[in-house]
Amino acid sequence: MTENSPSESNARRPAGTAANDPLGPDPSLLIVDDDVPFLRRLARAMESRGFTVDIAASVAEGIAKSKTAPPKYAVIDLRLGDGNGLDVIEAIRERRDDTKIVVLTGYGNIATAVTAVKLGALDYLSKPADADDVFNALTQRPGEKAEVPENPMSADRVRWEHIQRVYENCDRNVSETARRLNMHRRTLQRILAKRAPK
C-alpha cells in the first residue's frame, strides 16, 4: 500500500520470469474505494499476490493519483462518496491505454458497469468481491471469458438488478422509475431501501 516503499513491495513479490509471471514487468495497481476497511483488506491481499499497490478513497484522490502515476492495473468502485468511478477510468485512459481495469459495484448497478466496460474496463464484479476473483479478472488474457458461476442469480436478484438498472437510467428519480416499471412509488421505495437479495 502507499505506506510501503516500492522496494518493500517488490521484496515480497514471488520470484518468476516474465514468461510465467501473470503480472508482467509493471505490477502497479491502484485501488479506488470509499469503504476504507474493504479497501485496506483488498490492498493487503493484492500485495500478497505480487502487486505494488496504491490506494485512493475518493474520486478526487483517484484522479490525482492517476494523473501522477497512471497504473498498469486498477480496481475501481463505481459508486463513491464524491462522485462516479467512471471519472477515474477516464482519467487513467487519458494517460495510459494499456491499463487493465476491473470495476466493482455494490448496488447491482449493471447499466453503469456496462458503460465502464465500454470505456475500457476488462470486467465488473459485485461487492464484496473476493480477492481471488479480483486477481483472476485483472490477469485474464484478452479474449478469455470469466467462468460461469456455479450458483446463478436467483429470480429475486435478477428482478432487483433490473429495477436498479431502470432506476439508474432514470437518473435515480423514484417517480419516473416507478412509472416506467408500472409500479407503485411506495413499493419501489421499499425495494430500493432493502439490501440486494442473494
* Average pLDDT value for the chain: 80
Nearest to 75 by CA among 54, 94, 96: 54
What pLDDT, on a 0 to 100 scale, did the predictor assign at position 143? 57
Question: Is 114 in the same domain as 88?
Answer: yes
Determine the Cα–Cα distance for residues 41 and 113; give it in Å rounded to an integer.
23
Question: Is 134 in the same domain as 168?
Answer: no
Question: What's the pLDDT tens digit per position in 88-117?
Answer: 999 999 999 999 999 988 655 666 777 777
Question: Is 189 in the same domain as 104?
Answer: no
Question: Is 164 in the same domain as 94?
Answer: no
Q: What residues make up the domain containing 47?
A: 6-139
What pLDDT, on a 0 to 100 scale, did the predictor assign at position 91? 94
Least confident of 15-29, 62-76, 158-172: 15-29
Question: Is 85 in the same domain as 162?
Answer: no
DSSP E strands: which ranges in 6-127? 28-32, 52-56, 73-77, 79-80, 83-84, 100-105, 123-126
CATH number, residue 107: 3.40.50.2300
Question: Is 44 in the same domain as 131?
Answer: yes
Question: Is 123 in the same domain as 169?
Answer: no
**Residue 113 near residue 84 (C-beta atoms within 8 A):** no
Confidence of residue 17 (pLDDT cuts 50, 70, 90): very low
Q: How many Cα atoms occupy the beta-carbon half-sphere of 7 within 13 Å?
A: 0
Determine the Cα–Cα distance for residues 35 and 104; give it in Å rounded to an integer.
12
Count, residues in the chain: 198
How many folded domains does the chain comprise? 2
Q: Radius of gyration (Cα) for the chain, nearest Å? A: 18
Question: What's the pLDDT tens digit per position in 65-76?
Answer: 999 999 999 999
Question: Is 125 in the same domain as 160?
Answer: no
What pLDDT, on a 0 to 100 scale, did the predictor assign at position 124? 81
Question: Is 43 in the same domain as 119?
Answer: yes
Given 115, 139, 163, the domain boundary residue is 139
Three cell numbers at 137? 479478472
